[in-house]
């Protein structure tokens, strides 16, 4: 049986965590649970429940919630959860407004709604029934209402099996991050280069943290390694048994990312047909200076 002081410590740790609600993007539903468990674990939090559209979890603070949104490309936004229930009335009756939050201290606000028939996005609220149901909760907010440029968004989630009321504390990174790592925009890529979203999900599964040294023994064209190094914020190490994959697109290997030994030179010569390397099926046309190293340099890695 645990000693009393151990129980006290565990109780204190649980008390320091706060409820949050993660809303997922409408992509890769099969990976959401593992992705959010990995992210929450690294931030000292815990996951209570994962549904088809969202997850309820406990995190230390808003900063941890913002970090989670930055690390997971499957997250649309994160709410500080005030209350949840089968209906809006139930959610409002359960709602508890944090006494030390920005809204309790006079920040301006507006109401945003995720409607049942919509996707995961939030829109301005117009339904008078919704305002009536929220009446008592809204009366407790001392700050002014601003439909534009509000400091805080009060969110009502009507999509899914549970209605949730809370405050938006972070928005996902997918739009900005994935635009920097689109496979089509890379100078060096192949027919089997992994989609950028899946590459970042894989790095999340591996729980890559800032400062980690990443080794990918089957790196191919470096798609997974590129995402993992973005998360670790340092160069990684890649290797592959397929010499053609490593050499593809590298016009000057001696000055690029590869140093040719005798076996690689032999593999390169065997791949040549009539003095030119035979192109693989589905392989895109690449510039002469394309290389794995170039992909990293183009993104500041």
Asked whether residue 283 carries a pLDDT value surpassing 80, the answer given is no
First to last CA, the chain: 50
**Percentage with pLDDT > 90 across the chain:** 35
pLDDT in tens, 2-60: 444 444 433 444 458 899 999 999 888 899 999 999 889 888 999 999 988 899 999 99
Strand partners, 168: 79
| pLDDT tens figures, 96-112 | 988 888 998 899 999 99
Q: Which of the given ranges, 20-29, 181-190, 247-256, has the highest pLDDT on average? A: 20-29
Strands of the sheet containing 152-157, edge to edge, are 46-50, 54-59, 18-24, 75-85, 163-171, 152-157, 109-114, 123-124
pLDDT digits (tens, 9 = 90+) for 223-236: 899 999 999 988 88
Count Cβ neighbours within 10 Å for each residue of 120-149 and write b for 16 or more, e otherwise: bebeebeeeebeebbeebeeebebeeeeee
pTM listed for this prediction:
0.78
Residue 173 tokens read as: 């990174």
């Amino acid at each position: 049986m645990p000693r009393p002081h151990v129980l006290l410590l565990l109780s204190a740790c649980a008390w320091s965590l706060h409820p949050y609600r993660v809303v997922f993007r409408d992509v890769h539903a099969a990976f959401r649970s593992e992705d959010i468990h990995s992210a929450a674990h690294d931030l000292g939090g815990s996951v209570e429940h994962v549904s088809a559209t969202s997850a309820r979890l406990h995190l230390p603070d808003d900063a941890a919630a913002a970090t989670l949104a930055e690390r997971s490309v499957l997250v649309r936004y994160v709410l500080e959860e005030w209350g949840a229930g089968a209906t809006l009335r139930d959610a409002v009756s359960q709602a508890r407004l944090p006494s030390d939050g920005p809204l309790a201290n006079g920040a301006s606000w507006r109401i945003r709604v995720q409607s049942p028939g919509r996707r995961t996005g939030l829109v301005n609220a117009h339904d008078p029934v919704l305002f009536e149901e929220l009446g008592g909760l809204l009366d407790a907010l001392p700050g002014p209402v601003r439909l534009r440029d509000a400091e805080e968004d009060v969110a009502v989630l009507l999509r899914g099996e549970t209605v949730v009321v809370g405050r938006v504390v972070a928005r996902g990174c997918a739009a900005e991050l994935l635009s920097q790592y689109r496979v089509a925009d890379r100078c060096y890529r192949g027919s089997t280069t992994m989609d950028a979203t899946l590459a970042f999900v894989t790095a999340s599964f591996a729980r890559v943290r800032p400062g980690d040294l990443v080794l990918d023994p089957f790196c191919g064209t470096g798609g997974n390694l590129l995402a993992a190094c973005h998360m670790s914020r340092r160069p990684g190490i890649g290797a592959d048994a397929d010499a053609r994959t490593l050499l593809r697109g590298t016009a000057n290997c001696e000055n690029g990312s590869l140093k040719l030994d005798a076996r690689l030179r032999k593999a390169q010569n065997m791949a040549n047909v009539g003095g030119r390397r035979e192109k693989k099926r589905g392989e895109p046309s690449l510039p002469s200076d394309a290389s794995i190293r170039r992909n990293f340099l183009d993104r500041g890695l």
